[in-house]
A and B are shown apart, each in its own frame.
Chain A
Amino acid sequence: MLILNCPNCGKRSVGEFRFGGEYNPRPKAPETVEDEAWSEYLYMRKNASGFQKEWWFHNSGCGVWFLAERDTKTQEVFKTCLWNSEPVGEPDIAK
């Protein structure tokens, strides 16, 4: 079973969490974005087979949204961290 390390609560089983989809930053100024870019933000996904940065919600715990880096093939979780307003860099784990 997948074990996630909640930044607040520590290691818990996946049943405590809700998956929030792949990390997909919202365009900075939505009102100025062209339709094409907006639809890409809304619908298009990398859907990577392998390394993926993604959102999780600790709904049966502390209620925090956080980021995880996971391999979608092997289910290995490389790291979990809280989101901060600084842009999150490219994956620091080799693919």
Chain B
Amino acid sequence: MSIKLIKQALKGNGVLPRMWNSHPVKKHYDVVIIGGGAHGLATAYYLAKVHGITDVAILEKGYIGSGGSGRNTAIIRSNYLTPEGVRFYDESVKLYEEMADVLDFNVMFSQRGHLTLAHTDGAVRTMRRRAEVNKIEGVDSRLIWPEEIEGLCPGIDISDHPRYPIQAALYHPPGGIIRHDAVVWGYAHQADVRDVHIHQKTEVTGISVESGRVTGVDTTRGHISTGTVLNATAGWGSTIADMAGVKLALTTFPLQACVTEPLKPFLNVVIVSGSLHVYVSQSDRGELVMGASVDPYTSYSMDSSLSFLEGIAGHMLELFPFLAKVRVLRQWGGLCDMTPDYSPIMGFTPVEGFLVDVGWGTYGFKASPICGKTMAELIATGETPELISAFRHSRFEEFDLVGEKGAASVGH
């Protein structure tokens, strides 16, 4: 990357080449991916790179990365609770670690350490269990006590004054944050150079199904015939699936986040508190990036609310009382498709050729690379990879749920 930058600086015309191109919409594609977020773009990238399938279209109704990929708080970790979850997310962390080299784009992955605070005896017990599951799966994760927490995060209130005093934390050194836009752009660029067509401002309006098999999609830019459609949307998972006549176990909740004005660096770990429903990290610009739990009722509105801001401010001040005078710069919302067991739905559906990578709730961004890799393998081979077989759509009718309670920002 740096050599490329120096070359560009010496050339000095100030114009960087386009990272991806626009194309006319073709009448047919072998694979159509609905949703131009990190999941869809990563799937296209792996299809082209690993499996040589390049006749692929990505249909995005806004601009790429305008949904969940650009609205999350960019936290990456793998210290989940179920062995299936831990294995899956750990593969994702490994792919993130090599991403800057592989995509030849600086994604600014900062593995600064991730602390999940426990404020009750029950939470300490859960953290201990998570640490043990993590260790068995080879993930660096352990329980630490208030003195060590304060050492990693000076300024945090470890006294017994708050309503929910900090009792312990699950410490996960490989966890961290990343620049989420760069991940989207990196995948888009690498897919584009492999002849994948990225169609922005192209909304899907219908899916044609004939005798239980997908035959094409209708878009605002015309009909596309195809035998394989991947629903890689978030917030529109049910709406798109409904077009193909597939019912999903999803409910859509908004999740809000905010950033403060820039401060001098003081926080070089990611802090998460399940009991207080808050997670926070400090960006390279010095802003505190904060998120909370999903809103209390289902909605497709991405509006911000004062009740969210009041809630998160109160919780932040329990952890960091000295932030009382800090101002919030901006606030936004995104949509989370929640499943009953806090695990995604990936793979085949009852409609042949209609595949899903949905139900990514509050944990989708951190899974992008491994989702792309496994969904590409599934599309190319027609077989479900072992790593994602637990997340199959049919698990609900088989009463074989996964129960991932290590998921963030949901009330347990």
Interfacial chain B residues near A40, Cβ < 8 Å: 247, 397
Q: At the interface, is chain B mostly helix, strand, loop or mixed?
A: loop
Checking B247, B249, B300, B396 against A49 with a beta-carbon cut-off of 8 angstroms, the contacting residue is: B300
Q: Do residues B396 and A47 form an inter-chain contact, with CB atoms below 8 A?
A: no
Q: In the complex where A73-B301, A75-B299 touch, is A47 in contact with B251 (Cβ < 8 A)?
A: yes
What's the nearest-Cβ distance from chain A to residue B366, in Å?
A: 23
Say whether A72 contacts B238, CB under 8 Å.
Answer: no
Let me know if A72 and B298 touch, CB within 8 A: yes
Main secondary structure of the interface of A (DSSP, over half): mixed
Given contacts A35-B397, A39-B399, contact A47 B238 (CB under 8 A): yes
Closest B residue to A75 by beta carbon equals B301
Q: Are A49 and B236 in contact (CB under 8 A)?
A: yes
Q: Is the CB of B300 within 8 A of A72?
A: yes
Choose among A18, A36, A48 the residue that contacts B397 (Cβ–Cβ < 8 A).
Answer: A36
Which residues of A lie under 8 Å from residue B306 when comparing CB positions? Answer: 1
For residue A21, CB closer than 8 A to chain B, the reply is: yes
Which A residues are CB-close (under 8 A) to B300? 49, 72-73
Residues of B within 8 A of A46 (CB): 238, 242, 247
Q: Does A15 sit within 8 A of B, measured CB to CB? A: yes
Please report the number of residue pairs spanning A and B whose Cβ atoms sit closer than 8 angstroms: 68
Shortest CB distance A27–B (Å): 15
Contact A49 B239 (CB under 8 A): yes
Contact B397 A39 (CB under 8 A): yes
Say yes or no: A45 contacts B301, CB within 8 Å.
no
Q: How far is the CA of A12 from the CA of B200 in the complex (A)?
A: 42
Q: A43 touches which one: B236, B239, B396 (CB < 8 A)?
A: B396
Contact indicator B399/A44 (Cβ below 8 Å): no
Given A35-B399, A45-B250, A15:B239 Cβ within 8 A? no
Q: Which of B239, B299, B305, B340 has the most CB of A within 10 A?
A: B299
CB contact under 8 A between A22 and B249, given known A39-B396, A46-B238, A49-B238: no
Cα separation A86 to B204 with both chains bound (whole Å): 39
Instruction: Tell me whether A19 is interfacial, beta carbon within 8 Å.
Output: yes
Q: Which residue of B lies closest to A68 (CB)?
A: B297
Contact: B397 with A47, CB < 8 Å?
A: no
Cross-interface CB contact of B249 among A43, A52, A74, cutoff 8 Å = A43
User: What's the nearest-Cβ distance from chain A to residue B251, in Å?
Assistant: 5
A14 interfacial contact with B, CB 8 Å: yes
Chain A positions within 8 Å of B248 at CB level: 44-45, 47
Separation of A47 and B237 alpha carbons in the complex (Å): 9
- The interface residues of chain A lying within 8 Å CB-to-CB of B251 are 21-22, 45, 47
CB distance from A91 to the nearest CB of B (A): 16
Answer yes or no: B296 CB below 8 A from chain A CBs. Answer: yes
B297–A19 CB distance below 8 A: yes
In the assembled complex, B281 has its CB within 8 A of some CB on chain A: no
A39 to B248, CA, bound (A): 11
Cβ of B252 within 8 Å of any chain A Cβ, yes or no, is yes
Instruction: Provide the B359-399 mask, 1 if CB < 8 A to any CB of A, else 0.
Output: 00000000000000000000000000000000000001101
| A-B residue pairs in contact (CB < 8 Å), sample of 29 | A1-B305, A14-B296, A15-B307, A19-B297, A19-B298, A22-B251, A35-B399, A39-B399, A40-B247, A40-B397, A42-B340, A42-B396, A44-B248, A44-B396, A45-B238, A46-B238, A46-B242, A46-B247, A47-B237, A47-B238, A47-B251, A47-B298, A48-B238, A49-B236, A49-B300, A52-B298, A72-B252, A72-B299, A73-B301
Contacts A35-B399, A43-B340, A52-B298 known; 14 new A-B pairs at CB < 8 A: A21-B298, A39-B396, A39-B399, A42-B340, A43-B396, A44-B396, A45-B248, A46-B238, A47-B238, A47-B252, A48-B238, A49-B236, A72-B299, A73-B300
